[in-house]
Amino acid sequence: MQNLLDEELSISQLEEFQAVQAVLYGKYTVSGSNIETYEIDMSRSATNNVTQSGSTAWSTQDAETYDPSDDIESYALTSPPVRLT
């Protein structure tokens, strides 16, 4: 039973890692011993990358009072639309 739980945890961790890669880089790689390696590329535009610096960086904000949700919403509203190909 523990082996099954370990396998499920491993799959969940891999899915989470792939999701993070997709958000950060717009793509992720699938590989394994029984599968051909290939890259899933979401064709995310580089203009969607946000660089925070100076006084606007989240790391300079008061963690007790600052809510980054407004920044995230603003970034989403100003990003170019998704074009399905």
Is 47 part of a structural domain of the chain?
yes
Alpha-carbon gap, residue 15 to 37, rounded angstroms: 16
- Grouping H, G, I as helix, E, B as strand and the rest as coil, residue 70 is helix
Query: 28 with 22: CB under 8 angstroms?
Result: yes
Domain count within the chain: 1
The pLDDT confidence band at residue 85, using thresholds 50, 70 and 90, is low
Among candidate residues 51, 43, 29, 27, the one with its CA nearest the CA of residue 82: 43
In a domain, 58, yes or no: yes
Instruction: Identify whether 33 is part of a domain.
Output: yes
- Summarised one tens digit per residue, pLDDT across range 29-79 is 999 899 999 999 988 887 778 888 899 899 999 999 999 999 989 888 887
- 52: containing domain: 2-78
Q: What integer pLDDT is reported at residue 51 of this predicted model? A: 85
Residue 85 maps to a domain: no
Residue 25: which of 12, 44, 38 has the closest Cα?
Answer: 44
Q: Per the domain annotation, does 83 fall within a domain?
A: no
